[in-house]
Amino acid sequence: MDTKIEFLFLNEEDMIKAGVLDAGHCVDTVGEVMSLLSSGDYLMGGKEHNDHGMQLIFPKKSDIPGFPLEDSRDRRFMAMPAYLGGRFHLAGEKWYGSNGRNAKKGLPRSILMVTLNDVETGQPLAYMSANLLSAMRTGAMPGLSAVYLARKDSKVLALLGAGVVNRTSLMAIMAKMPGIEEVRIKGSSPTSKTAQELMEFAKDNYPQLKEIKICGSVEETVTGADIISEAVSVAPHKWPEIKPEWIKKGCLIISSGTVDVDYEFTKKHITKVVDNIGMYEEYINVYQEYDEAGKPVSMGVPGMAYVNMISEGAIKKEEVQHLGAIVRGVEPGRSSEDEIIMISLGGMPILDVGWGYECYKKALEKGIGTKLKLWDTPFMA
Amino acid sequence: MDTKIEFLFLNEEDMIKAGVLDAGHCVDTVGEVMSLLSSGDYLMGGKEHNDHGMQLIFPKKSDIPGFPLEDSRDRRFMAMPAYLGGRFHLAGEKWYGSNGRNAKKGLPRSILMVTLNDVETGQPLAYMSANLLSAMRTGAMPGLSAVYLARKDSKVLALLGAGVVNRTSLMAIMAKMPGIEEVRIKGSSPTSKTAQELMEFAKDNYPQLKEIKICGSVEETVTGADIISEAVSVAPHKWPEIKPEWIKKGCLIISSGTVDVDYEFTKKHITKVVDNIGMYEEYINVYQEYDEAGKPVSMGVPGMAYVNMISEGAIKKEEVQHLGAIVRGVEPGRSSEDEIIMISLGGMPILDVGWGYECYKKALEKGIGTKLKLWDTPFMA
């Protein structure tokens, strides 16, 4: 019996060679993944199969000297396991550590790795640098959302947040929406270096754009935009607010980070779409905060607000549409040119497994990466 | 700024060279880990910081052709993240896939990998084959339990289950309990190949043993034993039963797998010890089954029975001792020679991080393993 196990290690350079930055292909792939989600051909963690992942939650303080604290932005570790069916038919997980202080060291805020596993034996097939993988699959979801939910004649794209997620969102949206003429960028400040860099990136890569500008306020950024892509990571309850009067008729709001949109306005005047309602139900269990009267406060995540609206009986669960069901044609998506739609995107490990598999396949075809041997014969079997 | 990231890959052979099979050192290390657990200097997953891990739970059936099912023993994937403090001060996780059908392929039932991460930046430090790591740290816990909870004059060791866990439990107990003279082994059947192999292993490695025998029944195996180490993995509700009348006075029962011991007898006549009560409380949430009257049924895990005893008010929470507190000397452990003690061990990722770190350190010292580059400069930071 051949019991030798080898797997492929792909570092960041290998991943680039294996096509991880191909935004159009990535949008198509996450579309497939959303279809599989909608038809139930997947598993994520937990009893309900829908957990985003398992987090190491650092405390705000500790009596133990040197204990790691939640003392910088996004400080956490997260394990995100999944099985993805269809032609993918493999298991995998993303494991990452994140710390806002990394920026000072010239490092990305999160350092991510993805493992792909044979679903039958459990053996690793690939261990890959997942910073670009994760960024691209995250940006591909706004791209997919735009394809299915934005007006076809969308011209003005507003980017709230100028970090990695909105860079890859821009890549995905530009790959799929040829009518975009204007891009507006709102960074952490008008002079933000990342906002400048994102503007340069847009100029260099999308000569078809007639205007690219950095805006000083949320109002200036979103007013009149056809598509708003929000990807903001800030301290809790400090997220930006989009006021109802700034939202153009027919606008698509895509939330990948945290943002506030008036609860009552959302309830009555916005068509609600999510990637996976089960995930937001789980989020309520783990993350929802309540005011002194026991009422849920905004957590900046539209999908959590939708779950709260369902819980309080204000809307029916069926009113919240799923992107995957829209891709499959079993839910309507946009039904009028004037409709305002808001989609909440939370990030799911099935996306990492799906896009990881595409890169892995290409790496195998092209002979990219480092083959690593786990064992010739297991010491104990 | 130097933003290059490299980490160490250790395959199974490397791990052996790095000392992963050193049972005595491993018992000492898990003792340190239990102390840190007891003093709160650790984090595991979830809100309460005590989750064993996040599982992909395969369904028993599915309408989707080819969907992976819970159709063999132990079929699952599991992500187990943790932070471990003290001199370790690092994060990490174990990720594995498991499938009873692997045996037919000459592969271990589970194929496990451990990642160690810098707790500040999140970067991977090591990616290691964890089959031996996991087996050794699992067996080290019965070793540690024996050191702190067995009678010092223990002579007869009964092994229920002849798989990897009881092989490493034997290694750990033999490393620390020089008085053991007799080892009894109960495999899945009297002619079980793994039981034969375990007997040969014991003969080859422990010439001080006066008797090593394979037993045909649980009764024959455990009657008169000073230490019972149970490490059985069978179909749900098929676990072996240890009847009260077979248990010698002063006996230590160590449960690493699944076993039934009469609930009322346990309640009244057994001193109860666990590795981590919080983990069993989480287990109740995820795994507890109930009969038609709504009463919890035995899940074969003593720690879950202890939680149920606390919930029904039959015992006080303080009656359940913690191994780490006993190591630290803040809980009594054994208080008489006649006392029967039963400890429930569930497996925690802090053990993987702890023992993984010791092997990693030795690998660095000795120049063992393959250095892998993640990137020279991150593409997006």
B42 shares contact with chain A (CB less than 8 Å): no
Q: Is B86 in the A-facing interface, judged by CB distances under 8 Å? A: no
The ipTM value here is 0.92
Pairing of strands A42-44, A76-84: antiparallel
Decide if B225 contacts B156 (C-beta within 8 A).
Answer: yes
Question: Does residue A1 carry a pLDDT above 80?
Answer: no
In degrees and rounded to multiples of 5, residue A333 shows phi and psi of: 70, -140
φ/ψ of A221, rounded to 5, equals -70, -45
pLDDT band of residue A154 (cuts 50, 70, 90) is very high
Q: What is the DSSP string of B206-251?
A: -TT-SEEEE-SSHHHHHTT-SEEEE----STT---EE-GGGPPTT-
Closest-CA residue of B relative to A54 is B45
Per-residue pLDDT of chain B (381 residues; tens, 9 = 90+): 799 999 999 999 999 999 999 999 999 999 999 999 999 999 999 888 888 899 999 999 999 999 999 999 889 999 999 999 999 999 999 999 999 999 999 999 999 999 999 999 999 999 999 999 999 999 999 999 999 999 999 999 999 999 999 999 999 999 999 999 999 999 988 889 999 999 999 999 999 999 999 999 999 999 999 999 999 988 888 999 999 999 999 999 999 999 999 999 999 999 999 999 998 998 898 889 999 999 999 999 999 999 999 999 999 999 999 999 999 999 999 999 999 999 999 989 999 999 999 999 999 999 999 999 999 999 987
DSSP B333: -
Contacting residues of B for A97, CB less than 8 Å apart: 91, 117-119, 121-123
- The secondary structure of B36-72 as a DSSP string is HHHTT-EEEBSTTS-B--EEE---S--SSTT---S-S
Among B356, B85, B91, B88, residue whose Cα is nearest residue A97: B91
Q: Which CATH superfamily is domain A143-348 in?
A: NAD(P)-binding Rossmann-like Domain (3.40.50.720)
**What pLDDT is recorded for position A236?**
85
Q: A212 CB near a chain B CB, below 8 Å?
A: no
Question: To the nearest whole angstrom, how far is the Cα of A124 from the nearest Cα of chain B?
Answer: 8
Domain covering B148-348 assigned CATH 3.30.1340.10 in the classification = no
CB spacing of B64 vs A56 below 8 angstroms:
no
C-alpha to C-alpha distance for A69 and B41, rounded to whole angstroms: 12
Q: Do A129 and B374 touch (CB under 8 A)?
A: yes
Among A5, A12, A49, A117, the strongest candidate for a mutation testing the B interface, having the largest count of B CBs within 10 A, is A12
In angstroms and rounded to an integer, the radius of gyration of the C-alpha atoms of chain B is: 21
* CB of B31 closer than 8 Å to CB of B327: yes
Residues of chain B with CATH 3.40.50.720: 148-348
Whether residue A68 and residue B120 make contact (CB cut-off 8 A), yes or no, is yes
Nearest to A94, CA basis, from A157, A34, A45? A45
- Judged by CB atoms closer than 8 Å, whether chains meet at A11 and B374 is answered as yes
Which residues from chain A sit within 8 angstroms of residue B9, using beta carbons? 9, 372
Are B111 and A102 within 8 A, CB to CB? Answer: no
Residue A51 predicted with pLDDT over 90: no
Which chain B residue is nearest to residue A82, measuring alpha carbons?
A: B56
Q: Residue B1 and residue A106: Cβ atoms within 8 Å? A: yes
CB within 8 Å: B81 and A95: yes
User: Which residues of chain B lie closer than 8 angstroms to A96, CB-CB?
Assistant: 122
Please state whether beta strands A211-214 and A241-242 pair in parallel, antiparallel, or not at all (unpaired): unpaired
Q: Which chain A positions have a beta carbon within 8 Å of B377's beta carbon?
A: 106
**Average pLDDT of every residue of chain A:** 96
Task: Answer yes or no: is pLDDT of A175 > 80.
Answer: yes
Tell whether A308 is within 8 A of chain B (Cβ).
Answer: no
Chain B residue closest to A76 (CA)? B122
Contact A133, A110 (CB under 8 A): no
Q: Are B100 and B119 in contact (CB under 8 A)?
A: no
The CA-based angle A230-A236-A240, given to 5 degrees, is: 35
- Band (A233; pLDDT cuts 50, 70, 90): confident
Judged by CB atoms closer than 8 Å, whether chains meet at A54 and B54 is answered as yes
Residues B230/B210, Cβ–Cβ less than 8 Å: no
Q: What is the pLDDT of residues B240-268, one digit of tens each?
A: 999 999 999 999 999 999 999 999 999 99
Q: What is the pLDDT of residue A21?
A: 98
Q: What values do phi and psi take at A10, rounded to 5?
A: -120, 115
- The reply to whether A5 touches chain B by the CB within 8 Å rule is yes
3-state secondary structure B252-317: EEEECCCCEECHHHHHHHEEEEECCHHHHHHHHHHHCCECCCCCECCCCCHHHHHHHHHHCCCCCH
Is residue A47 scored above 90 in pLDDT? no
The rounded distance, in Å, linking the Cα atoms of B339 and A257 is 57
Q: How far is A116 from chain B (nearest CA, A)?
A: 11
Residue A48: predicted pLDDT: 84
Query: Which of A113, A284, A353 is the mutation pick for testing B, counting most B CBs within 10 A?
Result: A113
* Total residue length of chain B: 381
**In terms of residues, how long is chain A?**
381
Give per-residue pLDDT as tens, A310-363. Answer: 999 999 999 999 999 999 999 999 999 999 999 999 989 999 999 999 999 999
**Residue A187 contacts B, CB cutoff 8 Å:** no
Residue among A198, A161, A202, A162 nearest A182 (CA): A202
- B81 to A82: CB separation less than 8 angstroms, yes or no: no
Percent of chain A with pLDDT over 90: 92
pLDDT confidence of residue A146: 98
Q: Model confidence at A162, in pLDDT bands (50, 70, 90)?
A: very high
Tell if the CB–CB gap between A11 and B378 is shorter than 8 Å: no
Nearest to A121 among B49, B91, B97 (CB): B97
Is A278 in CB contact (< 8 Å) with chain B?
Answer: no
Q: What is the pLDDT of residue A73?
A: 87
CA distance B377 to chain A (A): 8
- B240: which residues sit within 8 A by CB, 6+ positions away? B160, B186, B218, B230, B232, B234, B259, B260
- Across the interface, whether the CB atoms of B381 and A108 are under 8 A apart is answered yes
Find which of B107, B109, B200 to mutate to test the A interface (most A CBs within 10 Å of its CB). B107
Give me B161's structure tokens.
């289950």
From chain B, the residues in CB contact with A99 under 8 A are 120-122
pLDDT band at residue A190 under the 50/70/90 scheme: confident
Cβ of A124 within 8 Å of Cβ of B111? The answer is yes
**Domain(s) of CATH 3.30.1780.10: residues in chain A:** 5-134+350-375
What distance in Å separates residue A45's CA from the closest CA in chain B?
5
Which residue among B47, B91, B127 places its CB closest to the CB of A77?
B91
**Residue B130's closest chain A neighbor by CA?**
A374
Task: Give the pLDDT confidence score for residue B285 in this predicted structure.
Answer: 86
**Chain A residues lying within 8 Å of B3, measured CB to CB:** 105-107
Q: From B165, which residue of chain A is nearest by alpha-carbon distance?
A: A380
Q: Which CATH number fits domain A5-134+350-375: 2.40.70.10, 3.30.1780.10, 3.30.465.10, 1.20.1640.10?
A: 3.30.1780.10
Are A101 and A71 contacting, i.e. CB atoms less than 8 angstroms apart?
Answer: no
Which segments of chain A belong to CATH 3.40.50.720? Answer: 143-348
